[in-house]
């Protein structure tokens, strides 16, 4: 079980441009770009930009045989550089919903009628419908972030999303009835610029980093939840969230080595991100790899 406080939302808020983000290679199938072109040396405010920031990243694939003592993945290792300590922090997105609910509860700022943050919980109110009565749910901050709590938060988040969606529709209708129908603004692409954007995808935090030259994209790198969660050990030996979560996890499966399915390992990983049921393979030794294939359309798993 992965036991970790939910940091990433608050850290991203400290610096909207994400100056603290560093992309480390660790055990990845890529060449180093430390001596490659530096696209951005300073931001518009004069702050220095590190060579390992996504603005300066150069992706150079280096295919090779998998070696668990060397390189074994196509995922790089995003980290947050803590200037106070000099540490490179492996910050998971907590599986999306748990991080979002946790930060919302702690902040105590949200009160939109259908959703209210109390400081230690998030209350969700769904009104009566044609088929169901009104109902109230309350997600309370747990002691830990682990497999069970990530899955529990994902279930509560369905009510959270429905309640927020109802509020957003009501606000949109107000704007529409007031005659405010414009939904976009004119925009001219600058000749020279850098930009970034942070967004909450369903699976967790998502950021985009772009460099524009001569009115064209000169460098661009997105960082969705997958690299934050699925990254390997970095150059300092710090494991990514998936690896950290499965290390020390008790195996309750009763199948022997020949029929091992790894359900306990799979369950832990999927609690972070249900989009990866087909992306988790296990090396069983003696050259044998267990692959789990999943077809969401038909609900089949082999």
Residue 138 in any domain: the answer is: yes
Residue 125 in any domain: the answer is: yes
Give the pLDDT confidence score for residue 250 in this predicted structure.
85
Task: Determine which helix (DSSP H) or strand (DSSP E) holds 88, and give its type and residue range.
Answer: strand 87-89
| SS3 of residue 54 by DSSP | helix
**Could you state, in chain order, the average pLDDT of each consecutive group of 10 residues for the chain (302 residues)?**
35 56 94 94 90 95 92 93 92 82 95 97 96 96 91 94 96 96 90 91 88 96 91 93 88 84 85 74 71 50 40
Number of domains in the chain: 1
Q: Going by C-beta distance under 8 Å and a sequence separation of 6 or more, which residues neighbour residue 292?
A: 261, 262, 266, 277, 278, 280, 281, 301, 302
Phi, psi of 90 (to 5 degrees): -90, 95
Residue 121 in any domain: the answer is: yes
Residue 261 in any domain: the answer is: no
pTM of the predicted model, to two decimals?
0.81
Q: What is the layout of strands, in order, in the sheet containing 193-201? A: 193-201, 204-213, 216-223
Give the domain range for residue 102. Answer: 97-177
Residue 252 in any domain: the answer is: no
Residue 212 in any domain: the answer is: no
Residue 170 in any domain: the answer is: yes
């Amino acid at each position: 079980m992965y036991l970790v406080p939910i940091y990433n939302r608050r850290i991203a808020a400290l610096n909207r441009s994400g100056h603290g983000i560093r992309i480390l290679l660790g055990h990845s199938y890529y060449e180093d770009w430390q001596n490659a072109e530096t696209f951005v040396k300073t931001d518009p405010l004069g702050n220095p930009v590190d060579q390992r920031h996504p603005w300066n990243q150069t992706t150079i694939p280096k295919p090779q045989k998998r070696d668990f003592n060397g390189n074994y993945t196509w995922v790089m290792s995003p980290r947050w550089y803590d200037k106070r300590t000099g540490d490179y922090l492996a910050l998971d997105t907590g599986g999306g919903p748990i991080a979002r609910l946790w930060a919302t509860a702690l902040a105590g700022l949200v009160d939109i009628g259908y959703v209210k943050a109390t400081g230690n919980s998030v209350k969700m109110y769904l009104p009566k419908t044609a088929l169901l009565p009104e109902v109230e749910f309350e997600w309370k901050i747990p002691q830990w972030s682990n497999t069970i709590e990530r899955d529990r938060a994902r279930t509560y988040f369905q009510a959270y999303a429905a309640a927020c969606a109802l509020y957003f529709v009501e606000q949109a209708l107000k704007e529409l009835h007031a005659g405010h129908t414009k939904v976009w603004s004119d925009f001219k692409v600058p000749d020279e610029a850098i930009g970034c954007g942070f967004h909450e995808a369903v699976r967790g935090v998502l950021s985009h980093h772009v460099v524009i030259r001569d009115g064209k994209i000169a460098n661009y790198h997105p960082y969705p939840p997958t690299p934050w969660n699925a990254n390997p050990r970095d150059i300092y030996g710090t494991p990514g969230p998936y690896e950290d979560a499965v290390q020390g996890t008790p195996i309750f499966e009763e199948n022997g080595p020949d029929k091992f399915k790894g359900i306990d390992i799979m369950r832990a990983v999927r609690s972070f991100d249900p989009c990866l049921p087909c992306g988790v393979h296990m090396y069983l030794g003696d050259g044998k790899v267990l692959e789990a294939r999943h077809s969401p359309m038909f609900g089949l798993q082999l």
